[in-house]
């Protein structure tokens, strides 16, 4: 009886503990419009820690900001030399890999987030990629997951920038997340974690809407929904442009 | 000025695309070739996904051939009957090519197929052209200009289904031109080229067509086959990027006009040697990519490759 009461108490206590420090967040923009001359975007993430009680003593408050793009399965292929030329041979399907993933932290990630918490919240880039179904018969399935990270880091789609979140008086924080020009559209999730001594004390989540707009939107939708008309339109536009340009040039020369 | 391509989903510099279009346009104007065989590999190099590059290039070729064929219609140098036979073969070939393309795409081998096709065809055509034009150059230096003898009484004339092609002055079986068309159609779908660089020599040497109708007739066939290829890619792969096509085209058309002027001022033999060298250079670059160990052994593809 007493035991059960204690368990119940503990269950009540833990969420109460979690809301002791709460995130109040602001974003410089909660939507990114991909226009024809879209050249990347920088989103300012800033906020404050709301608390009823005085600042707890002990390890200082640290902040982690993680922004991830829509996830999709990715086929990773490895090249091998066959008959003197390099060809794709083995392939592994990585179940879920975000199209974009950026982490900004207020201190080195492994110091402010324990492995267990990382596993629970999937914060680091390695954890954000899931390859549960990776075939075991292919040697070094981990190599394939590493390749996804390496290639996407090279294309600045994945990044981890430590010590880039500024925290003032354990209350105010701010950082900026750079988004490259080659973005895919979708709902991007921004997660903010407050940690103390390696464990997460509070978490906040919001979405950033990344959408093609205007002409980009129109052409993309048309190419998927009315492919026949899109194809015909492409031909007509291309022929008109080519014919127009050559006629204009001929008139210019005369 | 960066521009975001809606279908390719990459952001590239608009002036780079105009410049590429212009450069290839100058070469195509100088040499009288379509330039697809140069443009598609260049698009790979600047980071356009291969599937988008091939499909979009087909779209661009339709447009750049269109103004060319109008000029040939005015001069009455298009053999419509021969063009139609080539076209029927071409349409079947293009459909076949897209099926092969999509099948290999699902296997993850489409890049290899495209590169191999380029290496083989550019190597063969470039090599033959190089040898032939060097010989011509040597002869013209000696001052002996022997007209090339055309042997037309080969196996081409022993086949059934003969038809009279008035404009070309030929009475031959429809099978060889249909096969040439079919072959070019497959290449057009897989490589994103018009296929003029295969078709023109085949029409002259294999079918024995007079040189003056060859270019117009091949352009006539190319327009319809590449238009068909564009439609197939647009409806099955959704990979035709009209913004990319228009940018390349505007640069290309202007470049072609400049190229024509330059080409008219240079001796034909030297032009051919230059073109052959260019074709071999592209071929060599692509071959090296296959032979040398790449710095990144892994590549990413969209999921669900079954």
pLDDT tens-place string over residues B24-61: 888 877 776 777 888 888 888 788 888 888 889 888 88
ipTM over 0.90: no
Domains in chain A, number = 2
Residues A190 and A221 reside in one and the same domain: no
Same domain, A69 and A177: yes
Specify the number of domains making up chain B: 1
Say if residue B148's pLDDT is above 60: no
Same-domain pairing of A203 and A88: yes
Nearest CA in chain A to B226: A235
A14 in a structural domain: no
Check whether residue A144 and residue A69 sit in a common domain: yes
Please check whether residues A40 and A164 belong to one and the same domain: yes
Q: Same domain, yes or no, for A252 and A201?
A: no
For residue A10, being part of any structural domain is answered with no
Q: What residues make up the domain containing B178?
A: 2-141+153-291
pLDDT for the residue numbered B26: 84
Q: Note whether residue B299 is domain-resident.
A: no
**Owning domain of residue A228:** 213-254
Residue A4 lies in a domain: no
Measure in Å the smallest separation between the Cα of A84 and chain B Cα atoms: 7
pLDDT in tens, B212-250: 788 888 888 888 998 998 998 888 888 889 889 988 888
H or E element that contains A223? helix A214-225
Q: Is residue A193 part of a domain?
A: yes
Residue A133 is predicted with a pLDDT of 52
Q: Are residues A86 and A162 in the same domain?
A: yes
Does position B67 have pLDDT exceeding 80, yes or no? no
- Asked if the Cβ–Cβ distance from A181 to B4 is below 8 Å, we say yes
Each residue's pLDDT tens digit, A24-53: 888 888 888 888 888 888 889 988 888 888
A184 → chain B, closest CA residue: B9
CATH code where residue A104 lies: 2.60.40.3880
**Same structural domain for residues A37 and A84?**
yes
Q: Is the pLDDT of residue B150 over 60?
A: no
Residue B147 lies in a domain: no
Tell me which residue of B119, B122, B117 sits closest to B104, measured CA to CA. Answer: B117
Q: Does the distance separating the beta carbons of B4 and A38 come in below 8 Å?
A: yes
Residue A7 lies in a domain: no
The predicted pLDDT at position B304 comes to 43
Beta bridge partner(s), residue A46 = A26, A174
Choose from B247, B253, B255 for mutation: most chain A CBs within 10 A: B253
pLDDT of residue B157: 65
Residues 189-218 of chain A with CB under 8 A from chain B are: 212, 215-216
Query: What per-residue confidence (pLDDT) applies to B305?
Result: 39
Same domain, A87 and A207: yes
A241 at the B interface (CB within 8 A)? yes
- Residue B26 vs residue A229, higher pLDDT: A229
| Pick from B60, B234, B292: CB nearest A230 | B234
């Amino acid at each position: 009886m007493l035991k059960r009461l204690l368990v119940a108490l503990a269950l009540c206590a833990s969420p109460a503990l979690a809301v002791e420090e709460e995130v109040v967040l602001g974003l410089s923009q909660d939507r990114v419009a991909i226009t024809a001359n879209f050249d990347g975007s920088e989103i300012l993430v800033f906020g404050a820690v709301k608390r009823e009680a005085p600042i707890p003593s002990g390890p200082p408050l640290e902040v982690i900001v993680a922004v991830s793009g829509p996830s999709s399965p990715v086929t990773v292929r490895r090249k091998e030399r066959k008959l003197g030329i390099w060809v794709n041979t083995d392939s592994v399907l990585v179940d879920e890999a975000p199209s974009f993933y950026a982490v900004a932290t207020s201190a080195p990630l492994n110091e402010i987030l324990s492995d267990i918490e990382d596993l629970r919240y999937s914060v680091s880039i390695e954890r954000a990629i899931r390859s549960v179904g990776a075939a075991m018969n292919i040697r070094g399935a981990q190599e394939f997951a590493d390749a996804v990270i390496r290639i996407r880091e090279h294309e600045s789609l994945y990044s981890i920038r430590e010590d880039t979140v500024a925290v003032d008086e354990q209350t105010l924080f701010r950082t900026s997340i750079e988004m490259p020009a080659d973005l895919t559209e979708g709902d991007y999730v921004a997660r903010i974690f407050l940690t103390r001594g390696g464990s997460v004390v509070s978490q906040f989540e919001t979405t950033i809407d990344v959408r093609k707009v205007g002409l980009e939107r129109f052409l993309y939708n048309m190419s998927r929904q009315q492919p026949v008309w899109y194809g015909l339109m492409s031909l007509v536009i291309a022929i008109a442009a080519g014919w127009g340009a050559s006629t204009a040039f001929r008139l210019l020369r005369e | 000025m960066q521009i975001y391509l809606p279908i390719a989903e990459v952001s590239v510099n608009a002036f780079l695309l105009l410049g590429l279009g212009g450069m290839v346009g100058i070469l195509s104007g100088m040499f009288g070739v379509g330039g697809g065989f140069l443009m598609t590999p260049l698009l790979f190099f600047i980071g356009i996904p291969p599937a988008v590059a091939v499909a979009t290039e087909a779209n661009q070729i339709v447009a750049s051939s269109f103004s060319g064929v109008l000029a040939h219609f005015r001069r009455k140098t298009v053999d419509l009957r021969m063009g139609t036979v080539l076209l029927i073969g071409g349409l079947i070939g293009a459909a076949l090519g897209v099926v092969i393309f999509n099948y290999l795409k699902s296997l993850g081998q489409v890049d290899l197929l495209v590169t191999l096709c380029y290496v083989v065809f550019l190597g063969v055509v470039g090599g033959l052209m190089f040898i032939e034009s060097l010989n011509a150059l040597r002869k013209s230096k000696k001052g002996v200009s022997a007209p090339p003898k055309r042997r037309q009484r080969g196996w081409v004339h022993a086949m059934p289904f003969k038809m009279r092609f008035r404009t070309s002055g030929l009475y031959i079986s429809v099978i060889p031109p249909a096969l040439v068309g079919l072959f070019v159609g497959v290449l057009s779908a897989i490589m994103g080229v018009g296929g003029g660089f295969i078709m023109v020599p085949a029409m002259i040497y294999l079918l024995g067509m007079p040189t003056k109708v060859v270019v117009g007739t091949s352009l006539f066939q190319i327009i319809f086959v590449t238009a068909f290829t564009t439609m197939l890619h647009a409806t099955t792969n959704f990979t035709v990027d009209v913004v990319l096509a228009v940018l390349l085209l505007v640069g290309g058309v202007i470049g072609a006009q400049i190229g024509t002027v330059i080409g008219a001022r240079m001796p034909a033999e030297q032009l051919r040697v230059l073109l052959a060298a260019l074709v071999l250079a592209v071929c060599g670059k692509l071959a090296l990519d296959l032979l040398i160990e790449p710095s990144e052994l892994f590549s990413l593809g969209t999921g669900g490759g079954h």
